[in-house]
Amino acid sequence: MRRFAILFGLFWAAHASGADVSFQHEVWPILKRHCIGCHSEQKKKGGLRLDDVAALLKGGKNGPLFVAGKPDDSLLIDQVTGDTPEMPQNDAPLSRAKVKLLRDWVAQGAKIDGPPKSEVPPVVIPKFYTTAPAISSVTISSDGKRAAAACRSEVALFNVDDDAAPLRLPTDFDLINHVELSPDDQRLAVTGGSPQQFGGIIFFNAADGTRQSARRVGTDTLFKGNFAPDGQNIAVGGPTGAIYIIPVDEKAPVKSIELHSDWVTAVAYTSDGQELVSGSRDKTTKISSVEGMNLLRSVDQSTETINAVAADPLNAISGGNARTLVGYDFKQALVSVQVSGAGNGARPVSNREQYVRSFEAQPDAIMALATSGDRKLLAVATRAPEVRIYLTENRQRKITIPNVPAPVFSVALNHDGSRLILGSKTGIVQVWDTSTGKLIKSLTPVPVQQPVTTAAAGH
C-alpha cells in the first residue's frame, strides 16, 4: 500500500508539472493584458502583431518570437526575464507565475490550441457599491448649475444647487476616462472603453440623460480629450500614440493623427479650434494642426509622463509627474524656431526660453488641468490636497482651494470660472465658489453600501 501511495504521488506530481499550457486559455490572456496595446493590427510596434495566429508565428523585425521547445533560445522569454525585463515596456514586469506559464508553453512546443479570443465580458454596474469608486473625470455646465462625474462604468448627472439624486447613466465601458459637456451644454460626451478590447464614445442628451449615439474606436480604451469650440467634434487621446477626432455626427468619419510613441494621455483644442495640444506617456508635449492633420511642433520633452494639457489664447500648457507646469507661447513656439530631425521626431534646437512661459513651482505631481470657458482662468490639481487657480493672462495665482480630498483626478471650470468642480480618488465630488473659496456642494454621486453596525446586527 505504501509503495502504491508513493507511485501515485509521483505520478500526480509529474502530471501536474507537465500539464499542457493552453495558448487560448492561459497564454493569450497574458498577451492581451500586457502586450496587445503595442502589438496588434492597429499598432505593429517592431513589426510584431500578436492578435493573429499567422502573424504571431511569423514574428517581427527581430525575427521569430519563439523557438518551439527551446525557451532559452526564444525572444519572447528573453524579453520578459532578467533583472530589468525589456517588456512590457513602461509597465511593471510580469509576475513569476506568468513568466513560468510562457516558458512552459514554449518548452511544450508552443502549441496553438485555438485562435485568440476577443469576447468582452459584460460590464456589471451594481445597485450599491461596496466602496465609493474613484472619480476619473468631471464636467460642469457653462452656468455652473449642471454637472456630471465618471464613476467607473457609469456617469452621474446632477444639479449643483439642489439635493435631487443624481441620474445614473450606464455604459458598456470597463472604465470611463473622460466626460465633458459640449460648449452649448446640450450634449454630454463620455469616452473610455475596455483595455485591450475597444475604445468607445457615447453622446447623451445633457438635459434628460437619453442616449443619442455611440461608436467604438480602435482596439483599446480612449483617454482624456476636449470638445472643439464649435462643439461639432471631440478630440481624445489613444493608447497607440494617436489623437482621434470624433465627430458628433455619427455618420461622419473618425480622423486620427499619429503623433506620439506611447499613450496620448490628454488632448486640448486651442481657443480658435485650429490646433491641438497633446501630452503623452512618452513624456512629450506636441502641437498639431486640425486642418492639416499633421504635427506642427514637439514643444518640449519632460523627464516624466505628461498627465494633463490645456490651452489659453496665448499658450499651450502641460504638466505631469515632473511637478512642473509649463506654458509654451504659440507665436514663438510655432514660428521661426530651428528644428532638428523630421516628422514626429522633430525637436527645437534654439533656446527654449524664447517660448517657455513657466508657472510657479507646484507642490506635487500634476494630475489635471482645466481652463474656464472664457479661457481666462486655469485650474491645476496635483496630488497635494489643494487646487490652485491662475489668471492665464499673467500666470499669477488667483486663489487656492485648500483641504480638498486628495488626490484629485479631474477638475473643470464653468464659463466664467466662478465655479470649480473636482473629482477625487476617494469617490468624492466637490463644487467650489472660486470667488469666495467656499464649498458649495460635496457628494458621493453613486450609492454606496453602509456598513452594518454591531448594534444593528444584534437586532
Output the nine-digit C-alpha cell for 328.
Answer: 509654451
Mean pLDDT (the chain, rounded): 88
User: Minimum mean pLDDT among 7-21, 57-71, 179-193, 282-296: which range?
Assistant: 7-21
- Burial zone of 417 (CB within 10 Å; 0-12 exposed, 13-18 middle, 19+ buried): buried
Q: Could you tell me which residues come within 8 angstroms of residue 153 by beta carbon, excluding any fewer than 6 positions away?
A: 123, 125, 170, 171, 172, 173, 174, 175, 176
Reported as a pLDDT band with limits 50, 70 and 90, residue 91 is low
Per-residue pLDDT reduced to its tens digit, 379-409: 999 999 999 999 999 999 999 999 999 999 9
pLDDT number for residue 17: 46
User: What does the pLDDT average to over 143-166?
Assistant: 97
Distance CA 216, CA 77 (A): 34
267: three-class secondary structure by DSSP: strand
Mean pLDDT for the stretch of residues 166-191? 97
The pLDDT assigned to 438 comes to 97
**Residue 155 exposure: Cα atoms within 13 Å on the Cβ side:** 33
pLDDT > 90 fraction of the chain, expressed in percent and rounded: 64
Most confidently predicted of 28-37, 134-143, 194-203: 134-143
DSSP single-letter state for residue 186: S
Confidence band (pLDDT; 50, 70, 90) for 23?
confident
CA-nearest of 160, 145, 197, 153 to 179 is 153
* pLDDT tens digits for range 321-364: 999 999 999 988 887 555 666 666 666 555 677 889 989 999 99
The cell numbers describing 335, all together, are: 514660428
**Does position 304 have pLDDT exceeding 70, yes or no?**
yes
Give whole-number Cα distances, 438 to 128, 385, 404, 433, 435, in Å. Answer: 30, 15, 12, 5, 8
Alpha-carbon distance of 90 to 343, in angstroms, equals 23
Give residue 298's Cα distance to chain centre.
Answer: 21
Q: Which whole number is the average pLDDT over 220-237?
A: 97
**Across 30-38, average pLDDT:** 78
List, in order, residues 6 or more apart from 17 with CB less than 8 Å away.
Answer: none
What is the tens place of the pLDDT at every residue in 245-256?
Answer: 999 999 999 999
Q: Distance (Å, rounded) from C-alpha 176 to C-alpha 204?
A: 14
Q: In the predicted model, what is the mean pLDDT of residues 259-274? A: 96
Sequence-ordered strand ranges (E) for 106-197: 135-140, 146-151, 154-159, 167-170, 175-181, 187-194
| Number of other CB atoms surrounding residue 449 within 10 Å | 11
**Cβ within 8 Å of residue 262, ≥6 positions away:** 90, 241, 280, 281, 282
Q: What is the pLDDT of residue 185?
A: 98
Cα–Cα dist 445/455, whole Å: 28
Cell (9 digits) for 201? 464614445
pLDDT band of residue 118 (cuts 50, 70, 90) is low
pTM of the model: 0.76
What kind and span of H or E run contains 457?
A: helix 454-458
Q: Where are the alpha helices (DSSP H) in 315-426?
A: 330-334
Query: How far is 345 from 412, CA to CA, in rounded Å?
Result: 32
Beta-sheet pairing, 175-181 with 225-227: unpaired
Q: No. of H helices and E strands in the chain?
A: 7, 30
The answer, yes or no, to whether residue 455 has pLDDT greater than 70, is no
Within 8 A by CB and 6+ apart from 195, the residues are 33, 37, 174, 175, 220, 221
- What is the predicted pLDDT for the residue at 348? 55
- Evaluate if residue 442 carries a pLDDT over 70: yes
| Confidence at residue 371, expressed as pLDDT on a 0 to 100 scale | 98
